[in-house]
């Protein structure tokens, strides 16, 4: 398991989306897919196969971890796996965000985007 | 049911993942899919979800299989130099292609079989899609509803669907709150031309001014009708269809604003509709304005208008139905004479347009589905057999360190490649098939112009390929992927054909194929028998050598009854003198083609039926003398009309046997008097009894009918009949008479067009176009199904016989008689066939109920059909078994023993 978040960068964009939505709250897979799809401008749809591959990959890398459902869950809600981001995962997400920020700054300098503060 | 099936398929696809992954996530993943399934609605969305999920799972599974697992120590895998998932998959693809090249006949067989299954399904699906699924070509077409009337028996009539009257339309439009717009229309036909231009009869529609607004269709150019112009008495205005504008007016833009002679008057062209607009019908060429005078809207019982509505935002078809109920109760209270047992109902417009063909299309889709299942069962047996033949190769690969998952993947990639090739070829077959389908039957399929190859059709074909690859690929892959190394390598020396388990699966697949074929063939057999009955129906009149042609005299120049009578008298007299013509007459309609109406009548000396009793009414046809003789309708008693029955003479009528039986039971109707209901109509003496004919369709039983004399209609039916259909019997080909008839009419009145000129044989063939269509297709699918089934039986048996060569050789060497051996091989081959046959026949007994409404005078459990099918299936299977059995017993024992 890597200790340096930078080893995982650049993060595939779907993985990053998953991390972002887990930052907001722990979720199960279906809730996660809904949350990612409902993000404005996300423009992604997580199909079942790729979603679970991402979850398996991120779990193996120690970026997220699964845990037992909350005590008040019922029916097949109680059978589900819930996922939350680990402390290491937060560092990975932050490192990826910083990397993207750098990238954007370069893009601004290349006049692809209006620079900050200007209209 | 479908829900469960989808979930099961997903679970099956999950099996393609490595065990480690499956243990961790499979349960959660199937729950995930179930959630998505519940969250999506509509079969289209769910189908798309299913396909996306399966595709995504297969891709993910292949990727996981290729990923080196770091948890388990395993033998070193021999990889290509570059490694990596893409490369290793490409390597597998290349390997699979190499295998195909090495055994092209095998690959060709699989691809062709698959292409037939996918092609047939895709072709029928394209028709289903264009006719049933695709929204109508109007904006927000799901808000469009058709408004109909219904007569329950309580009303004295029994019409489950009937047109409306203008007062009913106005009341509903004004009283209902559910609609943005309600429009009415009626079909018309118009005479275009005259005055030096060849006159022509064209189909049109008289529509209320809001119809185009309701459908949200704008003209290609010009304009459509406006509300101000809707007042009665305005100048005639017309809108042209794009096709008619092109064909008749050469696509000249300056036609807008010009006048065109129509029905002896002039009408101004105000607009041209877009090319793809064809409401109410494909043949509508001209729209005229249906002008309604609210002060004088016509009788509440003058039903001849169709109505459609666009639901307001906030209203739904359910809410409109809920609103309709109290409304109809208030109508009944206000007009008890009319609205007892007679009320309005609504349904989606799409259902209205395509409703009648729906059962036939769904049946065909079911049939092609069965063909596809046979295809998959067939391929599964073939691939399993091949997999076993390759089991040594696999075992050796395993022994050399190839991972199991890699072997599964290889086998899946092979199936996927074959399925993809089959799918592509299937799409080509489907495109040709759709064209052929529409040529078989261009007229009786509604919306057939909207049947095209589109994205949905491609998606459907792709989905079928994925599903069939799963069906025929996964099972053998899973079975073949667990090679018990030692035993497989040893087994190559054994004499039995595969393990007992595999035998069982293969024989089960044969049984399934046979059962499906039986269902297909019984269905086709029933349809064929029914169609045969339909064709051999004696309609009660003779269609041979008969020509029909219709004429309508415009009221402008033929206002007086004498002019109408004079015209037809001269016309018929001249027709009879044309060389080769044996008989000629005219009537307000001809059987199997025209709808001449149902009219109430009174019987002299009997009180009219009261409310709640069955009204006295019967089909009516207005005819000239010699009508019956020309058509070959038989006289039962009394006399037919002759030239002495004229406008001044005693009014007379002829009735048919059904009318006599229903309204004059036990009495002689001849000499009794009837009249068309009303106070101004004259009593007619019944002078003859005609034999029944099937005038509406060949499969509807004859109905009560009465016949009136054309020249007497001013007295007996409230006005002269000016629209008539000529009937001419001749010794030559009927169509050859069209030019002389045109000449005669031109001499009499150059402004008159004739229309619907065709032979009665054509009319009769058209009347059975739809059953011919479904029967032809179902038979085709059944033949394909049986042929595939037979190759399946043959393939399985050849394979098992080949595996038993050694055993048979030993038995022969030990002195077994060839007859005994032959019977033994045949018996083993026939066991699954008999099981499948029984299964299929039992399934038919339940399933053929769906054919109930399609069959004519044939029971869905017709024992003759079942027996013939059973005998046929046994015969075909015996042949399929006999060929490999013969080969087996001819084997030279020495060679057979050495072969091991």
How do residues B173-193 score in pLDDT, each as one tens digit? 999 999 999 999 998 888 888
A56 and B25 within 8 Å at the Cβ level: the answer is: yes
* B24 in contact with chain A, both atoms CB, cutoff 8 A: yes
Q: Name the residue of chain B whose CA is nearest to A56's CA.
A: B21
* A75 in contact with chain B, both atoms CB, cutoff 8 A: no
| pLDDT, position B85 | 63
State the Cα angle at B500 between B498 and B502, rounded to 5°: 60
| Pick from B432, B418, B366: nearest CA to B121 | B366
Q: How many CB pairs under 8 A join A and B?
A: 56
**Higher-scoring residue by pLDDT: B478, B464:** B464
| pLDDT, position B586 | 95
Cβ atoms within 10 A of the Cβ of B345, count?
15
| pLDDT, position B796 | 77
Distances (CA, A) of B700 to B315, B539, B559, B574, B856: 39, 10, 37, 36, 9
A48 and B33 within 8 Å at the Cβ level: the answer is: yes
- What CA–CA distance (Å, rounded) separates B494 from B806? 9
Strands (DSSP E) contained in B163-243 are 179-194, 197-207, 221-222, 237-240
| A48 contacts on B by Cβ (under 8 Å) | 29, 32-33, 36, 53, 56-57, 60
Is B254 in a helix, a strand, or coil?
helix
| pLDDT, position B803 | 73
The highest-confidence range among B300-304, B407-411, B759-763, by mean pLDDT, is: B759-763
Is B111 in a helix, a strand, or coil?
helix
Q: Name the residue of chain B whose CA is nearest to A80's CA.
A: B28
Residue B857 falls in which region: left (phi positive, over 0), alpha (psi -120 to 50) or beta: left
B31 and A79 within 8 Å at the Cβ level: the answer is: yes
* B386 alpha-carbon distance from chain centroid: 40
What DSSP character marks residue A77?
A: G
| pLDDT, position B476 | 62
- What CA–CA distance (Å, rounded) separates B313 from B140? 11
Is the distance from CB of B591 to CB of B546 less than 8 angstroms? no
Is B310 in a helix, a strand, or coil?
strand
A48 and B27 within 8 Å at the Cβ level: the answer is: no
pLDDT confidence band for B510 (50 / 70 / 90): confident
**3-42 of A, contacting B, C-beta below 8 A:** 28-30, 33
pLDDT confidence band for B76 (50 / 70 / 90): very low
Q: What is the pLDDT of residues B702-717, one digit of tens each?
A: 999 999 999 998 888 8
Is the distance from CB of B367 to CB of B782 less than 8 angstroms? yes
pLDDT confidence band for B899 (50 / 70 / 90): low
Burial of B238 (0-12, 13-18, 19+ CB in 10 A): buried
pLDDT confidence band for B463 (50 / 70 / 90): confident
What DSSP character marks residue B605?
A: T
B32 and A56 within 8 Å at the Cβ level: the answer is: no
- Of B294-308, B530-544, B784-798, the range with the lowest mean pLDDT is B784-798
ipTM of the complex: 0.87
Is B265 in a helix, a strand, or coil?
strand
| pLDDT, position A1 | 55
- Asked whether residue B611 carries a pLDDT value surpassing 70, the answer given is no
Burial of B724 (0-12, 13-18, 19+ CB in 10 A): buried
pLDDT confidence band for B477 (50 / 70 / 90): low
- Asked whether residue B79 carries a pLDDT value surpassing 60, the answer given is no
- What CA–CA distance (Å, rounded) separates B663 from B657? 10
Contacts for B26 with CB less than 8 Å, ≥ 6 apart? B11, B14, B17
- Of A78-82, A106-110, B227-231, B444-448, the range with the lowest mean pLDDT is B444-448
- What CA–CA distance (Å, rounded) separates B339 from B329? 9
| pLDDT, position B64 | 77
| Pick from B42, B26, B37, B41: nearest CA to B3 | B37
What DSSP character marks residue A61?
A: T
Percent of chain B with pLDDT over 90: 28
Is the distance from CB of B122 to CB of B461 less than 8 angstroms? yes
- What CA–CA distance (Å, rounded) separates B316 from B784? 45
Q: What is the pLDDT of residues B679-690, one digit of tens each?
A: 778 999 999 999
| Pick from B630, B711, B709, B615: nearest CA to B663 | B615
Q: What is the pLDDT of residues A71-82, one digit of tens each?
A: 776 666 677 888
**Higher-scoring residue by pLDDT: B853, A52:** A52
Is the distance from CB of B844 to CB of B866 less than 8 angstroms? yes
- Asked whether residue B626 carries a pLDDT value surpassing 90, the answer given is yes
State the Cα angle at B805 between B804 and B811, rounded to 5°: 90
pLDDT confidence band for B668 (50 / 70 / 90): very high
- The mean per-residue pLDDT over the stretch B100-126 comes to 82
| B58 contacts on A by Cβ (under 8 Å) | 49
| Pick from A46, A45, A62: nearest CA to A5 | A62
The end-to-end CA distance of chain B, in Å, is 49
- Asked whether residue B119 carries a pLDDT value surpassing 90, the answer given is no
- The mean per-residue pLDDT over the stretch B565-589 comes to 93
What DSSP character marks residue B280?
A: S
Which residues lie across from B547 on neighbouring strands? B728, B759
Distances (CA, A) of B707 to B48, B120, B258, B615: 58, 49, 44, 19
- Asked whether residue B82 carries a pLDDT value surpassing 60, the answer given is no
Q: Name the residue of chain A whose CA is nearest to B69's CA.
A: A60
- Which DSSP helix (H) or strand (E) runs through A1? none
- Asked whether residue B296 carries a pLDDT value surpassing 60, the answer given is yes
Distances (CA, A) of B784 to A113, B56, B314, B461: 62, 33, 50, 19
pLDDT confidence band for B785 (50 / 70 / 90): confident
| pLDDT, position B478 | 62
Distances (CA, A) of B638 to B288, B597, B685, B688: 46, 25, 12, 4
Is B302 in a helix, a strand, or coil?
coil
- Asked whether residue B900 carries a pLDDT value surpassing 80, the answer given is no
pLDDT confidence band for B409 (50 / 70 / 90): confident
| Pick from B784, B884, B878: nearest CA to B831 | B878
Q: What is the pLDDT of residues B718-730, one digit of tens each?
A: 778 888 999 999 9
Percent of chain A with pLDDT over 70: 83
Q: In this structure, what are the phi and psi dihedrals at residue B870, rounded to the nearest 5 degrees?
A: -60, -45
**Higher-scoring residue by pLDDT: B814, B239:** B239
Q: How distant is the Cα of A18 from the closest Cα of chain B, in angstroms?
A: 16
pLDDT confidence band for B501 (50 / 70 / 90): low
- What CA–CA distance (Å, rounded) separates B601 from B707? 12
- Of A83-92, B82-91, B245-254, the range with the lowest mean pLDDT is B82-91
Q: What is the pLDDT of residues A18-47, one digit of tens each?
A: 898 899 888 888 888 888 888 776 666 788
- Asked whether residue B496 carries a pLDDT value surpassing 70, the answer given is no
Q: What is the pLDDT of residues B271-283, one digit of tens each?
A: 999 988 888 887 8
CB-side exposure of B614: number of CA atoms within 13 Å? 8
- The mean per-residue pLDDT over the stretch B775-800 comes to 82
| pLDDT, position B219 | 93
| pLDDT, position B479 | 59
Q: In this structure, what are the phi and psi dihedrals at residue B692, rounded to the nearest 5 degrees?
A: -70, 150
Interface-testing mutation among B56, B68, B71, with chain A (most A C-beta atoms within 10 A): B56
Q: What is the pLDDT of residues A56-67, one digit of tens each?
A: 989 988 899 988
What DSSP character marks residue B130?
A: I
Verify cis geometry, omega within 30 degrees of 0, for the bond prior to B793. Answer: no
- What CA–CA distance (Å, rounded) separates A78 from A95? 34
- What CA–CA distance (Å, rounded) separates B91 from B678? 88
Q: Could you give the maximum distance between any two Cα atoms of chain B, in Å?
A: 111
| pLDDT, position A76 | 63
Q: How distant is the Cα of B32 from the closest Cα of chain A, in angstroms?
A: 6
Considering only CB atoms, B53 lies closest to which of A47, A53, A56, namely A47
Considering only CB atoms, B60 lies closest to which of A33, A49, A76, namely A49
Q: What is the CA radius of gyration of chain A?
A: 16
Q: What is the pLDDT of residues B124-168, one digit of tens each?
A: 888 888 888 878 888 888 899 999 999 888 877 778 888 899 999
B32 and A49 within 8 Å at the Cβ level: the answer is: no
pLDDT confidence band for B96 (50 / 70 / 90): confident
- Asked whether residue B414 carries a pLDDT value surpassing 90, the answer given is no
Q: What is the pLDDT of residues B36-74, one digit of tens each?
A: 888 887 777 777 787 778 777 877 877 777 666 544 333
Q: What is the pLDDT of residues B190-226, one digit of tens each?
A: 888 866 667 888 889 999 999 999 999 999 989 999 9
Q: What is the pLDDT of residues B348-404, one digit of tens each?
A: 998 887 777 788 888 888 888 888 888 888 887 777 777 766 666 777 777 777 776
| pLDDT, position B80 | 42
């Amino acid at each position: 398991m890597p200790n340096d978040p930078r080893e995982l960068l650049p993060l595939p964009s779907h993985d990053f989306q998953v991390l972002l939505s887990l930052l907001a709250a722990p979720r199960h897979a279906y809730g996660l897919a809904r949350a990612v799809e409902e993000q404005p401008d996300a423009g992604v749809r997580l199909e079942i196969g790729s979603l679970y591959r991402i979850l398996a990959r991120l779990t193996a890398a120690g970026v997220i971890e699964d845990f037992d459902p909350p005590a008040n869950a019922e029916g097949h809600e109680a059978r589900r796996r819930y996922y939350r981001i680990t402390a290491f995962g937060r560092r990975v997400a932050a490192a990826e965000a910083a990397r993207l920020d750098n990238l954007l700054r370069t893009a601004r300098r290349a006049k692809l985007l209006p620079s900050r503060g200007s209209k | 049911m479908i829900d469960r099936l989808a979930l099961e398929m997903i679970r099956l696809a999950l099996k393609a993942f490595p065990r480690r992954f499956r243990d961790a996530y499979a349960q959660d993943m199937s729950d995930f899919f179930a959630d998505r399934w519940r969250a999506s609605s509509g079969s289209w969305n769910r189908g798309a979800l299913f396909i996306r999920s399966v595709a995504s799972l297969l891709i993910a599974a292949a990727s996981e299989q290729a990923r080196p697992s770091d948890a388990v120590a395993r033998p070193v895998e021999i990889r290509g130099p570059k490694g990596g998932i893409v490369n290793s998959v490409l390597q597998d693809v290349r390997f699979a292609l190499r295998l195909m090249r090495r055994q092209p006949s095998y690959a060709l067989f699989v691809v062709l079989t698959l292409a037939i299954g996918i092609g047939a399904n895709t072709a029928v699906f394209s028709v289903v899609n264009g006719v049933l699924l695709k929204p109508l070509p109007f904006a927000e077409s799901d808000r469009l509803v058709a408004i109909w009337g219904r007569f329950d028996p309580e009303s004295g009539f029994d019409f489950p669907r009937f047109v409306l009257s203008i007062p009913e339309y106005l009341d509903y439009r004004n009283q209902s709150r559910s609609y943005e717009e309600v429009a009415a229309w009626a079909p018309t036909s118009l005479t275009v031309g005259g005055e030096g231009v060849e006159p022509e009869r064209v189909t049109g529609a008289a529509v209320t001014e809001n119809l185009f607004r309701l459908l949200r269709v704008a003209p290609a150019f010009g304009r459509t009708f406006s509300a101000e112009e809707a007042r009665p008495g305005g100048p005639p205005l017309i809108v042209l269809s794009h096709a008619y504008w092109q064909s008749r007016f050469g696509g000249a833009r300056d036609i807008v604003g010009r006048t065109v002679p129509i029905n002896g008057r002039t009408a101004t062209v105000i607009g041209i509709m877009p090319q793809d607009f064809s409401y109410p019908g494909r043949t509508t060429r001209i729209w005229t304005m249906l002008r309604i005078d609210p002060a004088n809207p016509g009788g509440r019982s003058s039903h001849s208008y169709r109505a459609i509505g666009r639901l307001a935002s906030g209203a739904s078809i359910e809410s409109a139905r809920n609103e309709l109920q109290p409304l109809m109760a208030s109508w009944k209270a206000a007009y008890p004479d009319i609205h007892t047992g007679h009320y309005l109902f609504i349904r989606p417009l799409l259902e209205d347009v395509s409703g009648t063909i729906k059962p036939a299309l769904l049946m065909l889709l079911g049939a092609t589905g069965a063909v596809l299942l046979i295809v998959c069962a067939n391929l599964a047996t073939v691939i399993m057999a091949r997999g076993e033949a390759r089991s040594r190769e696999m075992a050796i690969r395993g022994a050399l360190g190839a991972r199991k998952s890699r072997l599964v993947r290889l086998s899946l990639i092979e199936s996927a490649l074959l399925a993809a090739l089959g799918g592509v070829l299937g799409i080509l077959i489907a495109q040709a098939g759709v064209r052929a389908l529409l040529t078989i039957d261009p007229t009786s399929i509604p919306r057939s112009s909207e049947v095209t190859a589109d994205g949905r059709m491609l998606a459907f074909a792709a989905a079928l390929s994925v599903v069939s690859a799963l069906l025929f690929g996964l099972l053998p892959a899973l079975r073949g992927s667990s090679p018990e190394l030692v035993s497989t390598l040893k087994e190559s020396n054994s004499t039995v054909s595969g393990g007992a388990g595999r035998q069982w699966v293969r024989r089960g697949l044969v049984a399934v194929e046979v059962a499906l074929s039986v269902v297909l063939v019984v269905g086709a057999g029933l349809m064929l028998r029914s169609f045969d009955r339909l064709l051999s129906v004696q309609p009660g009149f003779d269609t041979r050598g008969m020509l029909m042609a219709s004429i309508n005299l415009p009221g402008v120049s033929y206002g007086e009854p004498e002019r109408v009578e004079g015209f037809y008298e001269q016309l018929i007299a001249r027709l009879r003198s044309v060389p080769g013509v044996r008989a000629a007459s005219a009537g307000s309609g001809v059987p199997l083609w025209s709808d001449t109406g149902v009219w109430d009548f009174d019987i002299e000396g009997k009180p009219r039926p009261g409310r709640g009793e069955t009204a006295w009414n019967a089909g009516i046809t207005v005819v000239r003398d010699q009508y019956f003789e020309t058509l070959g309708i038989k006289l039962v008693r009394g006399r037919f009309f002759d030239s002495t029955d004229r406008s001044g003479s005693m009014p007379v009528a002829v009735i048919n046997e059904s009318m006599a039986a229903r309204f004059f039971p036990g009495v002689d109707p001849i000499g009794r008097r009837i009249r068309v209901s009303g106070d101004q109509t004259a009593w007619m003496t019944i002078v003859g009894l005609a034999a029944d004919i099937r005038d509406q369709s060949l499969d509807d039983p004859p109905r009560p009918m009465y016949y009136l004399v054309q020249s007497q209609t001013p007295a007996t039916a409230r006005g002269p009949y000016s629209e008539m259909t000529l009937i001419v019997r001749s010794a030559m080909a009927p169509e050859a008479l069209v030019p002389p008839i045109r000449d005669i009419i031109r001499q009499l009145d150059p402004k008159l067009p004739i229309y619907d000129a065709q032979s009665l044989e054509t009319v009769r063939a058209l009347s059975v176009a739809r059953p011919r269509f479904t029967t032809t297709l179902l038979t085709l699918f059944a033949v394909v199904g049986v042929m595939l089934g037979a190759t399946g039986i043959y393939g399985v048996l050849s394979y098992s016989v080949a595996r038993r060569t050694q055993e048979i050789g030993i038995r022969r060497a030990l002195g077994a008689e060839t007859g005994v051996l032959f019977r033994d091989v045949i018996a083993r081959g026939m066991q699954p066939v008999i099981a499948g046959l029984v299964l299929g026949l039992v399934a038919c007994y339940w399933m053929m109920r769906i054919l109930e409404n399609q069959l004519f005078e044939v029971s869905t459990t017709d024992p003759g059909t079942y027996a013939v099918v059973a005998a046929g299936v046994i015969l075909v299977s015996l042949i399929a078994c006999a060929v490999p059995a013969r080969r087996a017993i001819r084997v030279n024992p020495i060679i057979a023993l050495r072969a091991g």
